Amino acid sequence: PLALLKDPSLLKTDALINGQWVAGASRFDVLDPSNGRKLVDVANLGPAETEQAIAAANAAWPAWKAKTAKERSIILRKWFDLLMANQEDLGRIMTAEQGKPFGEAKGEVAYGASFVEWFAEEAKRVNGETLPQFDNNRRLMVIKQPIGVCAAITPWNFPLAMITRKVAPALAAGCTVIIKPAELTPLTALAAAELAMRAGIPAGVLNMITADSEQSIAVGKVICASDVVRHLSFTGSTEVGRILIKQCADTVKKLSLELGGNAPFIVFDDADIDSAVEGALASKYRNAGQTCVCANRFYVQEGVYEQFVAKFTAKVKAMKVGNGFEDGVMQGPLIEDAAIEKVKRHVADAVAKGGKVETGGHALTGQFFEPTVVSGATADMLCAKEETFGPFAPVFKFKTEQEAIDAANNTEFGLASYFYSRDIGRIHRVGEALEYGMVGINVGILATEHVPFGGVKQSGLGREGSHFGMDDYVEIKYLCIGDI
């Protein structure tokens, strides 16, 4: 698939430090998840190169922060234009290394680029405040300044958007960055870095360290231990998030974390069932179920339970599974064998505990898994507690509103939640009662660049996107001026 790129020079396989492409002493393979074949190999860097990247970012910081907001904004806008001009090639690279259907991949390019556009605009709105004085000889001001060198460690499920959502506000605020993209999807990240260079982002302002899974741990340790790195933004598992929090304790680093979810999707008796079925499909099977906001648990009220299960199952049965470049494919491969194993384990556990397979239930050849629906799910099943991160929808039956709220909140996670109802009172009650950072009401997809994305409880810290998404990249300074 990579032979079809319109601009083959977007296929970068070396890391980027201080504006230079670095091949590294060793390399690691990037595979096509649809067939397990090697696509290319990529630079496998370690602690020494990470130190160099941190030093480069620190050296580049004074000149970058001294630019006016408008100057930074113009460069970011150019990066956005280049990402969109190369949408097809970036989508192709993404489908090749990540597996999501080509249409979805191009959609992610637009979504990823939209953060660059948004924060190019927000760069000009990092406003301070003047406060009323407590003594007429004084004047009180608040200014916002860039926090400094920032690091971003990102996952494979959104190879572009999880980078731009962190890097665009950092650059807009006047920070410099070191990015450690996921080892499974470094090619989309490197192509985006190449376009950043073409847009005129100066050497050292944006650095990208590629590393395999073992070296990623070592790179992470150097980033966390560094005094120079003032902020770390991570998207990935809660387990790795906890490790990073501990590692950042010694340098009291500011953290932004987007961790795991366990999203409930509740359908009340008064819902529009056809709309709920459409929302359920989009929420569950997008990216083969591999997003942290994918519905993980479906709670359906008893009056509409049979109808919902029947309609939902019929739609899921009709989904086409296959290589993301084939026409009409709605679900591609899962990212790796371990992901298939987890789905298998969750389905087997649900069946052993009395669940009924309505459709699917089996792994196919390679890294493909049938889109699956299991009815009769219960609270003791693994799928009630853990995020499956795959194409498996367990459906639970409930009687009362309170029962659904309690079940939905009975988790240590709190990222996205969804519910369907047409009762205005219930919409307010349930919307307020769900302990989640995001609530989709009569929708199955809710993320976009100008809304705050993030979770409560063990789903993370901070918000990304929207004007709130700038907050983590600036420090607030209070100036108290006397002798007026």
From 8-16, 20-28, 103-111, 153-161, give the range in contact with ligand ADP by CB under 6 A: 153-161
Q: How far is the CB of 479 from ligand ADP (least distance, A)?
A: 37
Q: How far is the CB of 377 from ligand ADP (least distance, A)?
A: 23
Nearer to ligand ADP by Cβ, of 73 and 164: the residue is 164
Active site residues: 258
From 26-34, 39-47, 233-241, 299-307, give the range in contact with ligand ADP by CB under 6 A: 233-241
**154 binds ligand ADP, rule: CB under 6 A:** yes
Q: How far is the CB of 286 from ligand ADP (least distance, A)?
A: 16
Q: Which residue has the tokens 């590393």?
A: 211
- The single residue among 236, 355, 376, 465 that binds ligand ADP, judged by CB under 6 A, is 236
Nearer to ligand ADP by Cβ, of 146 and 390: the residue is 390
Nearer to ligand ADP by Cβ, of 213 and 400: the residue is 213
What's at 308, amino acid-wise?
A: F
Count Cα neighbours of 82 within 13 Å in the Cβ-side half-sphere: 19
| Assigned token pair, 465 | 């996107």
Nearer to ligand ADP by Cβ, of 70 and 246: the residue is 246
**86 binds ligand ADP, rule: CB under 6 A:** no
- The single residue among 52, 188, 216, 291 that binds ligand ADP, judged by CB under 6 A, is 216
Q: Is residue 311 within 8 Å of 273, Cβ to Cβ?
A: yes
**237 binds ligand ADP, rule: CB under 6 A:** yes
Interior angle at CA 227, CA 226 and CA 233, nearest 5: 65
x-or-dash pattern for ligand ADP, window 168-207, by CB under 6 A?
------------x-xx------------------------
Nearer to ligand ADP by Cβ, of 160 and 280: the residue is 160
From 38-46, 75-83, 213-221, 450-458, give the range in contact with ligand ADP by CB under 6 A: 213-221
**141 binds ligand ADP, rule: CB under 6 A:** no
From 76-84, 212-220, 366-374, 448-456, give the range in contact with ligand ADP by CB under 6 A: 212-220
What's at 408, amino acid-wise?
A: A
**220 binds ligand ADP, rule: CB under 6 A:** yes
Nearer to ligand ADP by Cβ, of 183 and 401: the residue is 183
Nearer to ligand ADP by Cβ, of 20 and 213: the residue is 213
Residues in the chain: 484
Q: How far is the CB of 35 from ligand ADP (least distance, A)?
A: 21
> What is the torsion angle, in degrees rounded to the nearest 10, for the CA atoms of residue 353, residue 359, residue 361 and residue 362?
160
From 92-100, 125-133, 147-155, 167-175, give the range in contact with ligand ADP by CB under 6 A: 147-155
Q: How far is the CB of 119 from ligand ADP (least distance, A)?
A: 22
List binders of ligand ADP among 95-134 (CB under 6 A).
none
**155 binds ligand ADP, rule: CB under 6 A:** yes
Nearer to ligand ADP by Cβ, of 214 and 406: the residue is 214
**Total number of residues binding ligand ADP (CB under 6 A)?**
14
Which residue minimizes CB distance to ligand ADP?
220
| Assigned token pair, 160 | 């572009």
**143 binds ligand ADP, rule: CB under 6 A:** no
Q: How far is the CB of 253 from ligand ADP (least distance, A)?
A: 13
**146 binds ligand ADP, rule: CB under 6 A:** no
Do strands 129-131 and 295-301 pair parallel, antiparallel, or not at all (unpaired)?
Answer: unpaired
Q: How far is the CB of 183 from ligand ADP (least distance, A)?
A: 5
Nearer to ligand ADP by Cβ, of 150 and 240: the residue is 240
> Strand order in 438-441's β-sheet?
356-359, 372-375, 392-398, 295-301, 263-267, 416-420, 438-441
| Assigned token pair, 237 | 């598992």
List binders of ligand ADP among 239-258 (CB under 6 A).
240, 243
Q: How far is the CB of 155 from ligand ADP (least distance, A)?
A: 4
Cβ-based neighbour number of residue 107 at 10 Å:
16
Q: How far is the CB of 451 from ligand ADP (least distance, A)?
A: 22
Binding residues vs ligand ADP (CB under 6 A): 153-155, 180, 182-183, 213, 216-217, 220, 236-237, 240, 243
